[in-house]
């Protein structure tokens, strides 16, 4: 029988610091964070408001850059990427799910999900086919032509998840994905995340809710910009 191979590293942060100014006050959002995420991991990053968890996920998702330290995505140093390369990575290699859904109000569910494919240069027929298929998989086959204001909060979040998955990303980041949902709907979203990980996806979720955090396979706790004991 063949030996099991160790899961490859998707991303890795070494001594990550992030400092910014709030008026005349210097804020040390991250203070020497080391983190490694492997393929097919399901991780929750947990901490109180101001602990640095959203700052960390923004750096891991290439939405922000560290003040000091190095960040690697699939063994490539992110600081060496051009702006165009970063834009392509955010579109094709990383999926994002946010608390506020971040859907365009004038577009239908189908059109919102297809947007990353537009930026990737895919043809219209492929965009429609692929977006329809993923919405149907998430139970929204009858809602594809509805706009966000015609959908419930849970439906909007499922559209956002479909959009995050559409380009088959290497890693998915979810920032407080149940924050605007009632507990029942939140559990439905967590069940979707469980299934995504079972299918081989890599998922990193930020939350302040211990019950939501326990859905993950590994918990990373942040306090005052530093990683503590899980």
> Which H or E run includes 18?
strand 9-22
Number of domains, the chain = 1
Is residue 1 pLDDT above 80, yes or no?
no
Q: 119 has which bridge partners?
A: none
Domain at 62, CATH number:
3.40.50.300
Considering the chain, what is the average pLDDT of its residues? Answer: 92
Question: What's the DSSP call for residue 97?
Answer: E
Range of the domain at 228: 10-21+28-93+205-230
115 assigned to some structural domain: no
132 assigned to some structural domain: no
Q: How confident is the model at residue 2 (pLDDT cuts 50, 70, 90)?
A: very low
123 assigned to some structural domain: no
Is residue 36 pLDDT above 80, yes or no?
yes
- Which of 184, 188, 160 is closest to 174 using CA atoms? 160
Q: Tokens in use for 89? A: 């990575």
152 assigned to some structural domain: no
Q: How confident is the model at residue 4 (pLDDT cuts 50, 70, 90)?
A: very low
Q: 37 has which bridge partners?
A: 11
215 assigned to some structural domain: yes
Q: Tokens in use for 129? A: 């086919």
Q: How confident is the model at residue 22 (pLDDT cuts 50, 70, 90)?
A: confident
Residue % of the chain over a pLDDT of 70: 97
129 assigned to some structural domain: no
Task: Cite the beta strand spans of 139-217 per DSSP E.
Answer: 171-175, 203-207
184 assigned to some structural domain: no
pTM passes above 0.75: yes
């Amino acid at each position: 029988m063949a030996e099991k191979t160790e899961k490859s590293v998707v991303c890795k942060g070494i001594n990550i610091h992030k400092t910014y100014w709030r008026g005349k006050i210097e804020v040390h959002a991250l203070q020497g964070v080391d983190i490694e995420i492997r393929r097919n991991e399901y991780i929750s990053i947990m901490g109180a408001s101001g602990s640095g968890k959203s700052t960390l996920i923004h750096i891991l998702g290439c939405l922000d850059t560290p003040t000091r330290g190095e960040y690697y995505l699939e063994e490539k140093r992110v600081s060496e990427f051009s702006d165009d390369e970063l834009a392509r990575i955010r579109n094709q290699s990383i999926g994002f799910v946010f608390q506020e859904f971040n859907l365009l109000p004038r577009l239908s569910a189908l059109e919102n999900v297809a947007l990353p494919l537009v930026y990737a240069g895919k043809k219209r027929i492929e965009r429609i086919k692929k977006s329809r298929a993923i919405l149907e998989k998430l139970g929204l086959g009858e809602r594809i032509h509805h706009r966000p204001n015609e959908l419930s909060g849970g439906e909007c979040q499922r559209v956002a998840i479909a959009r995050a998955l559409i380009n088959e990303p290497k890693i998915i980041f979810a920032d407080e994905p149940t924050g605007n949902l009632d507990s029942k709907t939140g559990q439905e979203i967590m069940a979707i995340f469980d299934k995504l990980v079972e299918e081989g996806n890599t998922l990193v979720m930020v939350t302040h809710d211990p019950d939501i955090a326990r859905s993950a396979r590994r918990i990373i706790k942040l306090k005052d910009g530093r990683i503590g004991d899980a």
